[in-house]
Amino acid sequence: MKKLSTFILLITSVCGFGQNKTDSTIIKHYKTNKFDCAIFPENSFALLPGKTRFTPTRQEIDNAETALETQLKALNSKRPNQGSSPIIDENLQKYLRQYFGYIDENGNRILFINCLWRKENKVNDGWLRNRIIVLDGGSYYWNVKFNLNTKNLFELDVNGEAIYGTRPWKLFGEGPTESASGSFSDQKKPFTAQDIRFTTKGDLLYAIALGVPASTVSIKLLGTKAGNGAVASVELMGSNEKLSWAQNADALTIKPSKSYPSENAVVYKISLKQ
């Protein structure tokens, strides 16, 4: 892992993921000889499904941890994005956990379990105060859900291709949502898929949509009349799906995908013609 902590800082400061400041005194730190986790209260701000939240109990977390030990290996049988990074079910004790609770559309009580590599995140207590969101990092960062009603794990989401060593592009980004004037944690109005932030690495440009698109994404700064280059290709990171896109005078338009590798944000890898 090459300077992963630097990349996390880049994503949170450059891309401006929004989280309200959370009083660290209300975050419960639950640690045993098998796992180390943060329990986030129902009023904490996090990008999660469902309109109703709840604070997980220790007993509910114990049930989820039992499921991780007994069900994760089968759920992870295809080992997505684990070719050059840890196999998650074989290294479970090396991950810190962040627990969030919500009610889904069917009335099920769901635990969202956000897992992060201990070595990279134990240097400070930021993981005990805010949800850690990383757009890459392979299996060093993953999440899964646990249905408290059925006692089943589901929807394992392992982070995809790493884009370490990126830096801010010449243009910060675009979009309708006004960014908070302070730090990223001051953001109160949530970002949308039309809010785009840019980073770059070598000849590649990464356009990060701060929400999951339900309709066509239009990136005005990459329209031909903006003069920022001709687009050669567009890929959705973490997916093999071929995208439908077009560059015209006003914008680069990208039609929505059938599915997305993340439920929080998506990253488009863009090659510009030389």
195 and 102 inside one domain: no
CA 1/CA 206 separation, integer angstroms: 19
Model pLDDT for residues 185-227, shown as the tens digit of each residue:
444 577 889 999 998 888 899 998 988 899 999 999 999 999 9
Cα–Cα separations (whole angstroms), residue 144 to 71, 137, 243: 11, 16, 26
122 and 218 both lie in a single domain: no
Check whether residue 142 and residue 17 sit in a common domain.
yes
Residues 132 and 38 in one domain: yes
Q: How far apart are CA 199 and CA 177, in angstroms?
A: 19
- Cβ-contact 42, 54 below 8 angstroms: yes
Of 194, 186, 188, 163, the closest CA to residue 270 belongs to 163
Q: Which of 97, 126, 158 is the last residue of a domain?
A: 158
Q: What is the DSSP letter of 55?
A: P
* Domain of 26, in residue numbers: 4-158
For residue 185, the tally of other CB atoms under 10 A from its CB is: 17
Are residue 150 and residue 194 in the same domain, yes or no? no
Contacting residues for 46 by C-beta, under 8 A, at least 6 apart: 19, 40, 100, 112, 131
State the total domains in the chain: 2
User: Are 106 and 218 contained in the same domain?
Assistant: no
* Whole-number pLDDT of residue 196: 94
Answer yes or no: do 110 and 215 share one domain: no
Strand partners, 218: 253
Predicted confidence at residue 46, as pLDDT, reads 65
Q: Are residues 90 and 34 in the same domain?
A: yes
Question: How far is residue 88's CA from residue 80's CA, in Å, rounded to a whole number?
Answer: 10
206 and 252 share a domain?
yes
Of 158, 183, 218, which one is at a domain's C-terminal end? 158
The two three-digit tokens of residue 42, written as one number: 């129902």
CB 223 within 8 A of CB 215: no
Q: Are residues 257 and 174 in the same domain?
A: yes
CATH classification at residue 220: 2.60.40.1180
Please tell me the predicted confidence (pLDDT) of residue 17.
Answer: 37
Q: Which segments of the chain have a pLDDT < 70?
A: 1-26, 45-47, 120-124, 135-137, 160-166, 179-188, 263
Rounded to 5°, angle at Cα 18 from 125 and 233: 110
